[in-house]
Structures are given as C-alpha cells and as structure tokens.
C-alpha cells in the first residue's frame, strides 16, 4: 500500500489545469487560420505570424514578467498571470483588427511562459523527493492534453460557433482554472530567492547550465522540425487522405501522454539515461521516418515513436535543469524559453529544408538536431561514468555538498532536488544508457 509520500498531491493536478488552458490558447490559432483570416480581413500567412509572435513573446517576454513578479507571494503571482492571460483572450475574442489580435497574442504568450515557470517552481514545494519527477510529469500532462484535447476541441468550437467563440471558451477555461487554484493550491510565500534579482541571475554564470539548457532546445527542436510538417508529409509523401490525418494526429497526441507518464516515473532516478535513451530512439525514429515515409505502416510507426520519445522528455529535462541550477521561477521560465526557442528553430529550419530538399527535409533536420542533442549529453555521461568508477575504487562518493559561492539556501535546495538513493537500476534504462555511452567513447 502506497504511503502519502508516494502520491502526487492534488494541488499539482490543479496546476496542470492552468497549463492546459495556456497550451490550448497557444495552439488555437493553428486550427482556425482560414476562419480568422476571413474574419480579420488578412491573408492566411499573416495569421501564421500570430503563431510566431506568440512563441517569440513566450521566449523573450516571459522571463521579464517573471522577474517583475518575484517579490509577490507565489499564489498571488499565479492570480496575476491568470488575470493577464484572461484579459489577453478577451481582447482576442473582441479584436476588431489584425493589430489588436497581434497585441492579444503577445500578451497571452508572455503570461503563459511566466505561468509555466512559476507553476514548475511550486511543484518541489508541494511534493516529496521520491515523486518529484512524477509530479512534474502530471503538470506537463497539461501540455500533452492541451495538444491532444484542447486543440481539436477549440477547433471544433471555432468551426461551429465562429473563431471568436473559441477564444471565449478559453477565457472560461482560464477562469475555471483560476478558481480551482484559489481553492486547491495552498497559500505560499515568495519564492526562495525572495525577489533578489541579482541572486537569481548568479546561477546563470554556470557554463554547464547553458549546456543543459541547449539539450532541451535540441530535444524539442528535433521533434518540432518533424511535427510541424506531419500533415503534408503524411498526405503528399505517405499518401494518406486528408481525412485520415486528424485521427493520426490524435494517436500521436495519445502517444505523447503515454510517453510523458513513463518518463515522469523514471525522471528522478534515471534522469540522464532517460534523456540519452530518448534522444537515441528519437534519432532512430526520425531517420526511419525520413527513409520510409513513402510506406504507410513504417511511417505511422515512426511518427508514433516520435510522439513517445520527443516532447515527452520534458519531465527529465526539467529535473536535470533544476538539479543543475535551482527550482526557482526564473530558472524554470528561462528553461521554458529555451524550449520555445527549440520550437522556433526546429519549425523554421524544417521550413527551409522543405524549400530546398522537399518534404523529407524536416525529418532529416530533426534527426540532425537529435544527434546534436546526444552530443550535449556526452560530458555529463562521461562525468557520471568517472564518478561511478571513483565510488567503486574509494567506497565513498566524495561529492561536494555545494559549489563555490553557493548560499546555504542554494545548497539546501540542491539537497532537496537530489535524486533518491537508487536500488537496482531499471534494466532497460541501464542497457540504453550503456549503449549510448559506449557509442560516445
């Protein structure tokens, strides 16, 4: 029988509802481009710029808004972000022109990114160390379900009731998430840094953190280089009819939910092996898709494989960043910005590849980014291998309790985020990690 320490607490599920609302709003434009173009009197490519603006606002504006909210109690900061996000969606629903809609998307993008960072910083404060990775996975299921359910539902509402109704529906969902947060999330003080911006920025002097952040960019970039062009690849290369694409994308979304759940359970104890295994498998699936895209069964199998091991690495990515730096809001928001950069870089590079090499090009771009992601893991894999050899030869870990210049609060938080002591490693994870490590040596 599981103890309460082994259970993800209810407030974490409430935070996932907020992220579900944010992600649904993020993708709604992609499902309603023709209707919005007609309603606002602009071209479809101009509506596409709204997606780019949202992503850029998340990546560039989110950290600044997070800094502005650092001195507030964390629950109050969530309320403020819900209010800004709700206002942005109301502005979008009532937009009288393209400029107003662009402003609405920028506002909601900035608020969404800051919400991600603060929500993820709250998770370690609510959970026991043994279930922290699983808790992050629960929160990130808000993202997966936003893709799986939020996008098609908002698209359905938009098609039957008009695109403005979709934004009103997201506004109602946002209000419901805010009420759930008021009731279900306990009161929390300011984040551990206490609003000291200089202290928050000190952690970014660590070169290893930038390498860890780049891994996340490459993991997500590899996936989105391919995902952004699934529709034309499946119809024009594989030969599926347009009616078959929606069910296939739903199946892909279901695969991301399954993969996220599995990764979340392994993220605490096997963070680095999970990332190495995931990148190696994603490289294999992307390469297989590029080579076999003209064959229906292998193409679908590879697409679902990408769903299982692509964006689903999020829990392990988050745990790795938090252990390298800390679990405070600014680090989490900057990490989310690097993830968003991955989306921008992957989809943009995929588009250039389509123009130059055809529709298989984005799949090869994804494979190349996955290979680069594996290379960014090599220093940590080698460090871990050397540490284990040292432990075997001395019988002690010899690991320092903190880095030079670290404060006592930083050291305490690192201790909180340290993985629980392992028993026997999972055989599949160990085998995958050994294979990747051997290939890198």
Residues 338/214, Cβ–Cβ less than 8 Å: yes
| For range 206-230, the mean pLDDT | 93
Write out the two tokens for 318.
Answer: 């988050």
Residue 412 in this model has a pLDDT that exceeds 50: no
Question: How many Å apart are CA 311 and CA 222, to the nearest integer?
Answer: 9
Q: Rounded to whole angstroms, how far apart are CA atoms 280 and 214? A: 16
HSE, CB side, 13 Å, CA atoms: give it for residue 164. Answer: 10
**The residue to which tokens 């695109």 are assigned:** 163
Q: What is the pLDDT of residues 314-348, one digit of tens each?
A: 999 999 998 998 878 888 889 989 998 998 898 88
Q: Which domains does the chain have, with CATH numbers?
A: 1-195 (1.20.1250.20), 203-392+407-441 (1.20.1250.20)
CA-based torsion, 66, 72, 73, 75: positive or negative: negative
Give CA–CA dist 319/314, Å, rounded: 9
Average pLDDT over the chain reads 83
* pLDDT tens-digit series, residues 340-375: 899 889 888 888 888 888 889 999 999 999 999 999
CB within 8 Å of 226: residues ≥ 6 apart: 233, 286, 289, 306, 350, 362, 363, 365, 366
Q: Per-residue confidence at 14, pLDDT binned at 50, 70, 90?
A: very high
pLDDT score recorded for residue 111 = 94
Kindly provide the b/e burial profile for residues 134-147, where b requires at least 16 CB atoms within 10 angstroms of the residue's own CB.
Answer: bbbbbbbbbbbbbb
Check: CB of residue 371 under 8 Å from CB of residue 283.
yes
Query: Does 409 have pLDDT greater than 60?
Result: no
**What is the model's pLDDT at position 52?**
80
Q: What is the 3-state secondary structure (H, E, C) of 336-347?
A: HHHHHHHHHHHH
The one-character DSSP state at 42 is: -
What SS3 class is residue 269? Answer: coil
């Amino acid at each position: 029988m599981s103890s309460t320490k082994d259970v993800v607490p209810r407030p974490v599920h409430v935070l996932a509802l907020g992220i579900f609302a944010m992600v649904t709003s993020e993708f709604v434009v992609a499902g309603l481009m023709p209707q919005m173009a007609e309603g606002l009197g602009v071209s479809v490519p101009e509506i596409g710029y709204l997606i780019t603006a949202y992503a850029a606002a998340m990546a560039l504006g989110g950290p600044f808004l997070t800094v502005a909210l650092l001195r507030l109690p964390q629950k109050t900061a969530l309320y403020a972000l819900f209010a800004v996000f709700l206002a942005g969606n109301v502005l979008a629903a009532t937009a009288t022109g393209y400029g107003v809609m662009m402003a609405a998307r920028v506002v909601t993008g900035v608020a969404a990114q800051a919400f991600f960072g603060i929500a993820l910083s709250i998770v370690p404060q609510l959970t026991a160390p043994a279930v922290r990775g699983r808790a992050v996975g629960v929160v990130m299921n808000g993202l997966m379900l936003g893709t799986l359910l939020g996008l098609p539902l908002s698209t359905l509402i938009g098609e039957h009731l008009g695109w403005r109704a979709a934004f009103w529906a997201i506004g109602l969902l946002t209000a419901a998430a805010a009420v759930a947060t008021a009731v279900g999330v306990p009161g929390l003080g300011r984040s551990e840094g206490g609003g000291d911006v200089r202290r928050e920025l000190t952690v970014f002097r660590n070169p290893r953190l930038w390498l860890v952040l780049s891994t996340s960019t490459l993991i997500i970039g590899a996936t989105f280089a391919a995902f952004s062009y699934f529709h034309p690849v499946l119809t024009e290369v594989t030969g599926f009819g347009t009616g078959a694409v929606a069910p296939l994308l739903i199946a892909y979304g279901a695969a991301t939910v399954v993969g996220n759940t599995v990764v979340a359970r392994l993220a605490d104890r096997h963070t680095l092996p999970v990332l190495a295994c995931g990148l190696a498998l994603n490289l294999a699936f992307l390469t297989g898709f590029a080579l076999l895209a003209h064959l229906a069964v292998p193409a679908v199998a590879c697409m679902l494989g990408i769903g299982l091991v692509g964006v689903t690495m999020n829990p392990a990515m988050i745990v790795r960043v938090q252990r390298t730096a800390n679990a405070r809001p600014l680090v989490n928001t900057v990490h989310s910005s690097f993830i968003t950069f991955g989306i921008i870089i992957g989809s943009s590079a995929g588009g250039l590849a389509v123009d130059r090499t055809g529709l298989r090009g984005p799949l090869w771009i994804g494979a190349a980014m996955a290979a680069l992601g594996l290379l960014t893991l090599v220093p940590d894999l080698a460090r871990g291998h050397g540490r284990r050899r040292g432990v075997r030869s001395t019988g002690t870990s010899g690991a320092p309790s903190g880095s030079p210049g670290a404060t006592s609060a930083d050291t305490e938080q690192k201790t909180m985020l340290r993985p629980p002591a392992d028993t026997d490693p999972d055989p599949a994870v160990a085998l995958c990690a050994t294979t990747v490590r051997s290939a890198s040596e």
